[in-house]
Amino acid sequence: MAGGKETPRQKMIGMMYLVLTALLALNVSNAVLEKFAIIDETLISLIREGGEKNENKLKAVLGSTSTEPKVLEAKEKAQKVRDLTKEAVAYLDDLKAKMKVEADGKAIPAEELVLNTNRAEELMLDHRKPEIGQGYEKKLNEYVSKLNEIMGPEQGKFAKLTKGPTEYEAFKNSEHHKGKTFLQFSFEGTPTMGAIATISQMQTEILEYEGAALDSLNAVAEGVQIKFDKVFPMVRPNANIVIAGLDYEADLLISAAASGIEPEMFFNGGPVKVETNANGVKVGKIKFKASGGDYKNGVVEKSYNVKINIKGKPYEDVVKYKVAQPVAKFESESASTLYLDCGNEMTVSIAGLTESSGISLSAPADQGKIIQQGAGKFVIIPTRPQINVAVRMDGVTIDNKQFKAKPVPTPIGKMQVGNGEYDVKRGIPPGTSIVKIVPSITDDTFVRNNAKDAGYRITSMVMQVTGKTPITLNSGTIELSRYGLRPGDTFSISNVQVVRSTWDPSDADNKPVNAKIEGFYRMGTN
C-alpha cells in the first residue's frame, strides 16, 4: 500500500532526488552535492509539516465523542501509530546527526559536510561495525511490520520501505546497481549530504504511511460522527400547560441537523414518518390521541419514548408531557332544564379545542337517546329521570356528565267557546254550535323553549249529558247541535286522553300524557 496522496511539491522533490541520484552514479561535479543540501532543507520542511498534519489527524480521531467499540479501538490504534512514527522519525534524526560528525565525534563543518563524500558510506557500510547500517534497515522493516500489525489485516497493507534497485523502474535494468542490497543501493558511493537527504526522504515516506493510516482510522471515527450543517435555535418549555397568572418558563438551546443523512425515527417502538420541513431539516411526525388518567388537580402526567437512529447509532429519550382534564361545556339555546321524552337541544364544546367536529355523545339505551345534528350540536332525549352522557373526542372518552330530567308539565282542560273561554256564570251562550276542550299548559317557559314537544291534543273523552247515556268522542271538539241540548241543560267531560307532539319524528306526535282533565258545563239561557 502506498503512502497518502503526494502533493505536487512532494512529487517534484522526489523526482529531483531520483535525478540527482542518477547524476551521482555518473560522477557528476560537486554542484550536484550542493543541490542535495537544498533538497534536504526542503525535505526537513516537509517532515515538520507532515508531523504537524498527522498530529492534527490524531486529534481528530481522539476527538470523536462516540463510545462505540470500533471507534474506541480506532482511537487506541491512532495513538499507537503516532507513537510508533514519532519514535521512528526520532531514530532517523539521530542517524542523520551521526553522519554529521567524524568517527572521533568531531562535528563536520557545514561547508565541508556538503562536499564530504565518505562519512555516510563508512558509517552505514562498515563491515567491522555493521550494526548501524543493519539497524537502520531493521528499524524501517520493523516500522512497516508494526504499522501493519496495529492496523490489522483490513487496513494494514503498507509495502516495505527497504527497496533494492530492481524495485525502482529507473534502476531495475541498471548494470551499475545490479546485485546491490538495499543498504548498498542507498549508501554505496553516496556522498554524506546525499545520504542525509536519503534518510530525510525516508522520513517523509514514513510520515506519508502514518498519514494514510490515520486517515483510515479517522474514517472509522467519522463513520459514526454526525456533521451538523444546519443549526438553529429551539425552545423547550418547562411545562406544556401554563395557567394565566403564572410564570412561563422554557429552555433556549441550539438544535442542529445534518444534510444528506436519512435518520430512522421511532415513537414508542414503532416507526415514525420522516419529512423534510421548510428549513431542509428531517422531522419525524408524531401524532396520537392524548388519553386521560388519574387526574390530580385536573392534570395527569404522561410520557412516551422516542428514538432516532443515525448511522446505526441510536439516540433515545423519554418525553414527558401533561394532559389537562377536559371539561365539556353544555349550552342550551332554549333552557337548561331537561324534560323527559323531550328533545333537549344542546351545543357542546370543550375548553381549549377550536374544532368540535370530533365531539360525540352517547348514553345508555335504557336512559334515553342522543341525536347529533351537526358539529357540536346534539339533541338529548332522556327516558328516565337521570341520564348519564359520555363525551368523546375522536372516539376517546374525555368526560362524563350526569343530567336530571323532569316530567313535562301536566295540562289542564279549558273550554273554548268561539274566540273566548267558557264563562261559568253565563254558561254556553245560546246559538253556539261548537265548543272545544283544549289542553292548556300553564308553564310558559316550557311552551316557549320546547315548542316541538308542547303540541297537546285530545284523542278521546267521555261526554255525559245529564240524564242521558255517556258518549265517547275521539277529539276535544263537541258539536252541541247533535245532542239536542237546550238552554239550562248540563253535561260533564271525563276520561280525557291527551297526547302531545314530540321532537322525535319516530313518535308520530302521539306521546301519551298523564292528564286529569274533567269538567261540568251548562248551557246558558241568555
Give phi and psi for 423, each to the nearest 5.
-105, 115
Cβ neighbours around 477 below 10 Å, total: 13
Q: Which residue type sits at 504?
A: D
CA distance 66 to 207: 27
pLDDT at residue 103, as a whole number: 86
| Residue whose grid cell is 254556553 | 428
In this prediction the pTM is 0.48
What is the rounded distance in angstroms from the CA atom of residue 346 to the CA atom of residue 336? 9
Q: What angle do CA 459, 462, 468 make, to 5 degrees?
A: 150
Alpha carbons 17 and 37: distance in angstroms, whole number: 11
> What CATH superfamily is the domain 328-406?
Cadherins (2.60.40.60)
Listed as own residue / partner, the contacts of 387-392 with beta carbons closer than 8 Å and 24 or more positions apart are: 387/338, 387/363, 388/363, 388/364, 389/361, 389/362, 389/363, 390/361, 390/362, 390/363, 391/326, 391/328, 391/348, 391/350, 391/359, 391/360, 391/361, 392/359, 392/360, 392/361, 392/362
Q: What's the confidence (pLDDT) of residue 26?
A: 45
Tell me which H or E stretch contains 274: strand 274-276
pLDDT in tens, the chain (526 residues): 444 455 554 555 455 555 555 555 544 455 666 777 888 888 899 899 999 999 999 998 998 877 888 889 999 999 999 999 999 999 999 999 999 999 888 999 988 888 888 898 889 998 888 889 999 999 999 999 999 999 998 887 899 999 887 777 767 777 777 778 889 888 888 888 888 988 999 999 999 999 999 999 998 887 655 666 677 787 777 766 665 656 777 788 777 676 667 788 898 988 888 888 877 778 888 887 777 778 887 788 888 899 988 766 788 888 887 787 777 788 875 556 788 888 888 888 887 666 677 889 999 999 999 999 888 899 999 999 999 999 888 787 878 889 999 888 889 899 999 889 999 999 999 988 899 999 988 888 888 888 888 888 999 999 999 989 999 999 999 999 888 888 999 999 999 999 988 887 777 667 888 888 899 999 998 7
Residue 141 backbone phi and psi in degrees, to 5? -65, -40
Secondary structure of residue 82 in the 3-state scheme: helix
Residues 455-505 have pLDDT tens digits of: 889 999 999 999 899 999 999 999 998 888 889 999 999 999 999 888 877
For the chain, what are the domain ranges?
A: 8-222, 230-324, 328-406, 412-522
Number of H helices, E strands in the chain: 9, 25
**Amino acid of residue 506:** S
Smallest CA-to-CA distance from 158 within 142, 147, 166 is with 147
Pseudo-torsion of CA 467, 469, 471, 476, nearest 10°?
10
pLDDT confidence of residue 231: 72
What pairs with residue 276 in β-bridges?
282
Give the span between the Cα atoms of 464 and 15, in whole angstroms: 139
User: Of the candidates 290, 2, 329, which has an alpha carbon nearest to the alpha carbon of residue 157?
Assistant: 2
